[in-house]
Amino acid sequence: MQSLGRDFRALVIGAHGTIGTALAEQLRADPNCAHVATISRATHPYFALESETGIEQAATEIAGEGPFALIIDATGALTIDGNGPEKHLGALNAERLARAFEVNAIGPALIIKHFSSLLTKDRSIFAKLSARVGSISDNHKGGWYGYRAAKAAVNMLLQTAAIELQRRRPDTIVVALQPGTVQSPLSAPFSRGHDTVSPEESAVGLLQAMDELQIKSGAQFVDYKGQPIPW
């Protein structure tokens, strides 16, 4: 990445997942990146999207490796507790909807709360893996109620956080990222009929897309090809 200058530091949250792993690997190979810190369920201290205490502790523990010019939240899940996305109204369940929001919206909101202070004061990027299905205006097929709604919610949370963060740090970029349908065991049951990309291709594209972002008011929403997505 060129836009963050020489010797920038990066943090990947959710680095144990398919896309998070690929992003961390690509950043480690970047000659401009001086250090890549990672956090996942497999790291110490304990970190889980359902625990604000764990999120706050992880931010405190990792602060010494910053400040970071790039923070990527690569967390999230489509299948939760063995349950995939609902395809029709009859499949809606209050507890499953709550879990979708807990993992895909509430947890990420708490990550922004506790990690955004670790960004550098110069040009910096806070990025969150989102999904095209979280776009309200791009929803033409329906279904996937909880996942769609939670991703739409996290997009709104990013937009709101961007407005606040940019008051203190005008050079901060907040972006929601659509990684494409990435080839992985978790996406395999849902990728039929969709063009898929390898984790490496997605990671390279996402980093390039972020590198080309211009500083502007509010959050941005782009895919791994750098194309804007309507909210």
Res. 216 pLDDT band, cuts 50 70 90: very high
How far is the C-alpha of 193 from the C-alpha of 52, rounded, in Å? Answer: 38
Range 110-127 average pLDDT: 97
How far is the C-alpha of 184 from the C-alpha of 191, rounded, in Å? Answer: 10
Count CA within 13 A, CB hemisphere, residue 213.
33
Say if residue 188's pLDDT is above 90. Answer: no
In the numeric block, the tokens 């949250």 are attached to 13
Say if residue 96's pLDDT is above 70. Answer: yes
| The one-letter amino acid at 20 | G
Which pLDDT does position 218 carry in this prediction? 97
Which pLDDT does position 192 carry in this prediction? 67
Going from the C-alpha of 28 to that of each of 36, 44, 62, 84, 161, the distances in angstroms are: 6, 20, 17, 33, 28
In the numeric block, the tokens 């979708």 are attached to 100
How far is the C-alpha of 129 from the C-alpha of 151, rounded, in Å? Answer: 9
Encoding tokens for residue 122? 């110069």
Helix (H, G, I), strand (E, B) or coil at 107: helix
What backbone phi and psi angles, to 5 degrees, belong to 41?
Answer: -60, -25
Burial class of residue 231, CB neighbours in 10 A (0-12, 13-18, 19+): middle
Res. 193 pLDDT band, cuts 50 70 90: low
Q: Considering only CA atoms, which of 58, 63, 10 is closest in space to residue 33?
A: 10
Query: Does 45 sit behind a cis peptide bond, omega within 30 degrees of 0 on the bond before it?
Result: yes
Q: Name the architecture of domain 8-223.
A: 3-Layer(aba) Sandwich (3.40)
Regarding pTM above 0.85, the answer is yes
- Integer Rg of the chain from CA: 17
- Label residues 159-176 b or e (16+ Cβ within 10 Å = b): bebbeebbeebeebbbbb
Q: What is the pLDDT of residues 31-89, one digit of tens each?
A: 999 999 999 888 766 789 999 999 999 999 999 999 999 999 999 999 999 999 999 99
Question: Could you tell me the residue ranges of all domains in the chain?
Answer: 8-223
Q: What is the pLDDT of residues 136-185, one digit of tens each?
A: 999 989 999 999 999 999 999 999 999 999 999 999 999 999 999 998 76
Phi-psi domain of 180 (left: phi exceeds 0; alpha: psi -120 through 50; beta: other): left
